[in-house]
């Protein structure tokens, strides 16, 4: 978090080339006017796209300096919210976490994913992307990554709650560090009856 606080001006200006690669397909699955929670909004590019599509978006980031930059871009409030502070039940049609949950230490990830599962309404969608690799560690900036493999992602999501569907795909991509490497995309949907 200290890295992102210090690098907020540069970090929020990066990625200006466009929205996250899986976002348009995700948005196409959502009902008109869907209520969406974005966790870890970064510079606000994805939120801006979703708002432009007519969705009711709650935009959040865990770092105050990043949230302030995103708020300036969006012209609206961006809440400062850490993942472990999410405490909503059946409040959202979708939860987006593009390249953000990858910073959650592996032991804490099941709890965070269960919080996301709880926050979704029955039939709600969740999209997340993770740097892959299969062995947690730090990058050259000292940032922690859980570096999930596809198998790791499947196991941790299945522990988090009864999903109606779970689709995991692997691919290559880059990041703030400019390094190309493996990524894991998770697209899941809460069961229509969630057992609560």
> Is residue 8 very low, low, confident or very high in pLDDT (cuts 50, 70, 90)?
very low
Write down the pLDDT at residue 1: 54
pLDDT at 195 over 70: no
pLDDT over 70 at 176, yes or no: no
What pLDDT digit, counting tens, does each position of 126-145 carry?
A: 999 999 988 898 888 888 88
- The answer on pLDDT for 48 being more than 50 is yes
Q: Which domains does the chain have, with CATH numbers?
A: 2-190 (3.40.50.150)
79-118 pLDDT, tens digit each: 999 999 999 999 999 999 999 999 999 999 999 999 999 9
Return the sign of the alpha-carbon dihedral for residues 137, 38, 124, 183: negative
C-alpha dihedral over 85, 69, 175, 36, to 10 degrees?
A: 50
CA distance 110 to 108: 6
């Amino acid at each position: 978090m200290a890295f992102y606080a210090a690098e907020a001006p540069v970090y929020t200006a990066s990625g200006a080339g466009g929205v996250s690669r899986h976002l348009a397909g995700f948005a196409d699955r959502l009902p008109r006017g869907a209520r969406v929670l974005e966790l870890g909004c970064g510079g606000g590019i994805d939120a801006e796209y979703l708002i432009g599509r007519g969705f009711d978006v709650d935009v959040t980031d865990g770092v105050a300096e990043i949230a302030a930059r995103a708020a300036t871009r969006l012209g609206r409030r961006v809440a400062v919210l850490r993942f472990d502070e999410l405490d909503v039940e059946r409040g959202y049609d979708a939860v987006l976490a593009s390249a953000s949950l990858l910073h959650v230490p592996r032991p804490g990830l099941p709890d965070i994913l269960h919080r996301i599962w709880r926050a979704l309404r029955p039939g709600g969608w969740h999209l997340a992307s993770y740097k892959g690799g299969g062995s947690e560690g730090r990058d050259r900036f000292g940032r922690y990554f859980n570096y999930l493999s596809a198998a790791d992602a499947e196991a941790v999501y299945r522990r988090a709650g009864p999903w109606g569907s779970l689709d995991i795909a692997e691919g290559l991509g880059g990041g703030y560090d400019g390094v190309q490497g493996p990524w894991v995309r998770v697209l899941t949907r809460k069961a229509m009856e969630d057992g609560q």
